[in-house]
Structure 1
Amino acid sequence: MRVADVERFCEIPYDEATFDCADLVVHVQRQLFNREIELPGARPHGTEGQAALGELSKAYARRRDGAPQDGDLVLMLDHGQRRPGHAGTYFFLAHEGWVLHGNERNGCSVLHRVRELPEMGLRIEGYYEWA
């Protein structure tokens, strides 16, 4: 994967009601990997929906054993959370791991190095390959 392939998904506005982190993951999977991920239409968005991400993801992906691969789902815990409530997409770019994700704090989709996530209060719960 090239950096330019992923950077085109940066700065997509985050909207808790209509385009949250899970919606970004689905969009990226469709556009970059030709995967059709259909999240439940009635799923809650925003904070409530993000709290349900860990359970919802089980129908679509399984925990990856070994090193993550481009396009893997990344489930994260925000500071103080006990369950994953944030999602992103993993990429190996410029010789290191990156996560493309969007949240209210950033206001849009952003690309962060895996090693920088703890500085943002995010901890990776796991990497998941698509079923």
Structure 2
Amino acid sequence: MSGVSRPTVALGLAAVALSLVTLVGLPTPLQAVAATAVLVLLPGQALARLTPVTDLALGTLLVLALGLASLTAVSTAMFYLAVWSWQACVVTMGVITVLACMVRARQEVAMARARQEAPC
């Protein structure tokens, strides 16, 4: 796992863990927090990390925008395909987060290799 940052790994693991916890069931207030994280914040963060944005305010806005946009696209597609369920939506958003983390990890590994191969 050389070259992959801890935030990338933590984000992917959090998506898997919170998706499972949301599906298993929690007391209502905790389930609402976990569902919000899985459905909006984690996918938004994972997708925002694929962009070169460094400004904190713009990055925060981008996390929310990308999270809500991906949730809207997934929910709308599921609705029109007549396969909508909140459980499937949670799993799909978790998968999107993990896939975005895998793409980010690949970018990080490529950047680490480029640094190693660069002449001094």
Q: TM-score, normalised by structure 2?
A: 0.28
Which has the larger helix fraction?
2
Larger Rg: 2
Q: Higher relative contact order by CA 8 Å / sep ≥ 6: 1 or 2?
A: 2
Q: TM-score, normalised by structure 1?
A: 0.26
